[in-house]
Amino acid sequence: MTELHTTPRTRRPRPAIVTLTDAAAERVRALTEAGGHKALRVGLKNAGCAGQEYTFAFADQIGPLDEVVTDKGATIVVDPKSILFLIGSEIDYETTKLASKFVFRNPNQTDACGCGESVTIIPAKAFEID
């Protein structure tokens, strides 16, 4: 019998689940540093009239299945249940006369409620593997 030999293959880098604009990165850094937190956790929960809402919380613990994204010096932790829904998203931070808030530009979002508090998101489609 012949032996099967494999050669180690260098893996290509994975793209980040989410990216941050300069304004969002600055705000995430300010919030986490002021509170002494490791990162800002983002995710989704079932809620609202459109079905889902984006969530934010400070992350002092990073779980083994959490996706950690560092962009422009800011660290975001993505909840493992939310990864497929957030792939390709850009997080921005906007300030207007009436509000300051994080804004998601999510290619997987298909709808939003009238008040803008909840969204409908479909999971990202599987990518073909080379």
Distance CA 27, CA 84 (A): 25
Q: Whose structure tokens read 């508090």?
A: 117
Among 123, 127, 126, which Cα is nearest to 107's? 123
State pLDDT tens for residues 24-61. Answer: 999 999 999 999 999 999 998 887 776 788 899 999 99
Among 70, 88, 73, which Cα is nearest to 125's? 88
Distance CA 125, CA 40 (A): 26
> What percent of the chain shows pLDDT beyond 70?
85
